[in-house]
Amino acid sequence: MIKDVIRLKWHAKLSHEQVATALKISKGVVAKYVSLATAAGLDWDTVQDWSEQQLSTALQPRSSAALPIVVPDWARIHRELDRKGMTLMLLWQEYLAANPQGRTWRYTQFCEHYKAFAATLKRSMRQHRRAGEKMFVDYAGSTVPLSDGARAQVFVSAMAASSCVFACATPAQRLEDWIAGMVRALHFYGGVPQLVVPDNATAVIASADRYEPRANDTVQDFARHYGTSVLPARPRSPKDKATAESSVQVVGRWVLARLRHHRFDTVAQVDAAIAELLPSVNDRPFQKLAGSRASVFAELDKPALMPLPPQRYELARFKTVKVHIDYHIEVDGHRYSVPHSLVGQVLEARLTQHGVELLLRGQRVAAHARSSRRGGFTTVDAHMPAAHRAHLSIRAPLGRVRSLHSRSSTAQVRARSTRDLFQVPNPRKVQRPVVMPLQDERPLWAANLDIFAVNLVFPFDRAKVNSLAVRLEGENHCYVPRRFRLAIPSYSRLSQGCCLAKNWTGLA
């Protein structure tokens, strides 16, 4: 939260009010964090690689017994500004002179609070757009019919200063369609504005507030990827996005109207037809001003845009998950590991088409390639406790041995099982000959054969053990003593060593 405040304030150059709206916090909290960061000499370049914990520690508030701030009469100040030659600077100086002993605002804070007051008045003010500041996005009310009865939706965006228009066709107005449209718009313009202002659509908004609507987690993740901010327009407030409303009309008149007699089978065909007509819209000269949308964009907006990141944004969805006792979390039936120290913690899972990221208070603690195998596990050894890693290093070769007799030839079983068993680092060893090759009359010693290994190689099934022994003898590969074949009735007897000859040194 603190890091986002600093990013939006100094990197995106937003006002206190805009930062508060974007993060759904009060302006007082924004002012507090900004003042603490200023006092500590911190800026975005310094803290962009810091964690929230580091930043919070560096900005520990210091106690003060400051007097309450003297709030001016904003209604009087607003009336005074109607006088010819009156400025906010002069009114601020009068405010300071009237309160010499009181705690007062600095000039920038004075102006910000006045702007907040003026925004509450029912007036229509001509808004001055800064170059590269805002991109407005919306969907056109008109749609394009397809041959199968469906209708293609038309996404529209416009830059605030130049009104340069981008439009594309999407199958619907779902979240993924909004994200895809905004991503394509940014790459069409070749840069990133400071603000993206979407319509107050259900797919985009997490909380539909009359005054402070908040974008959902996916849209905020999109904004973080491109280093911008998303400030949704208020519901039923077309003046908040007048540029978008006028651009939708332009697209309807100069693009969609020309396509009304065309027949389209797919959304892609509609999209291609719109792309062909866009240059004529942006190159069309203004009626009362010099130039066109394209020329003004190249002159004003384009140089002021921030650069695009190297990678396009990949749609991400977010889900709250809890770490199970086996240090895994579950997503769509598949389990992914996290560091074992996080057992019982509640994490935020960021899910894309190809990956799963696990976040704890905004910091990534694990990342995996996404798997569609339900019931499966994706485990990183580094996430396991040391005891579990040691156990796994023992069980892995034994598991390979157990699977050999069911899918390999006898010779492979004899050679590979002995090699794998020699890799088991267990101090409790049973040094007994298990299988005797007839060719060289020397016993094969399973030097690292744990008692439990016999359970894996020869399961507790007398018929299977005898069958394996007879098959080995019949193939003339080796001889298995009868006392070994018949001595696996139970694990308790196995653990007492009944299945192994104590003094067997040659052929029985």
The answer to whether the beta carbons of residues 344 and 323 sit under 8 Å apart is yes
Residues contacting 337, CB < 8 A, separation 6+: 327, 328, 366, 368, 377, 378, 379, 380, 383, 384
pTM assigned to the model: 0.50
Q: Is 467 helix (H, G, I), strand (E, B) or coil?
A: helix
What was the pLDDT predicted at 317? 80
Identify the CATH class of 134-304. Answer: alpha beta
Distance from C-alpha of 117 to C-alpha of 481, rounded to nearest angstrom = 97
Which class for 275: exposed (0-12), middle (13-18), buried (19 or more C-beta within 10 A)? middle
H or E element, residue 393 = helix 386-407
What was the pLDDT predicted at 146? 92
Name residue 319's beta-bridge partners. 349
What was the pLDDT predicted at 103? 84
Ranges of each domain in the chain: 2-119, 134-304, 317-384, 387-495
Q: How many CB atoms lie within 10 A of CB 308?
A: 16
What was the pLDDT predicted at 211? 63
What was the pLDDT predicted at 461? 47
Nearest 10 degrees: CA dihedral of 223, 226, 229, 235? Answer: -50
Q: Is 472 helix (H, G, I), strand (E, B) or coil?
A: helix
What does residue 307 show for φ and ψ, rounded to 5 degrees? -70, 150
- Note down pLDDT in tens along the chain; length 508 residues: 777 887 787 777 788 888 888 878 888 888 888 888 887 777 777 777 778 777 777 776 554 445 688 888 887 887 677 665 778 889 998 988 888 888 888 999 999 999 888 887 655 445 556 778 889 999 988 889 998 888 999 999 999 888 899 999 999 999 889 999 999 999 999 999 999 988 888 888 876 666 667 788 888 889 989 999 888 877 666 666 667 677 888 888 888 888 888 889 999 999 999 999 999 889 888 776 678 889 888 888 888 899 999 988 888 888 888 888 888 988 888 889 889 888 888 888 888 777 888 888 878 888 888 888 888 888 888 888 888 877 777 666 555 555 554 554 444 444 444 444 444 444 344 333 344 333 333 333 333 333 334 444 444 444 544 554 455 445 444 444 444 444 433 333 333 333 333 333 332 3
Tell me the CA distances in angstroms from 236 to 144, 173, 219, 232, one per residue in order: 25, 18, 21, 12
What was the pLDDT predicted at 167? 93
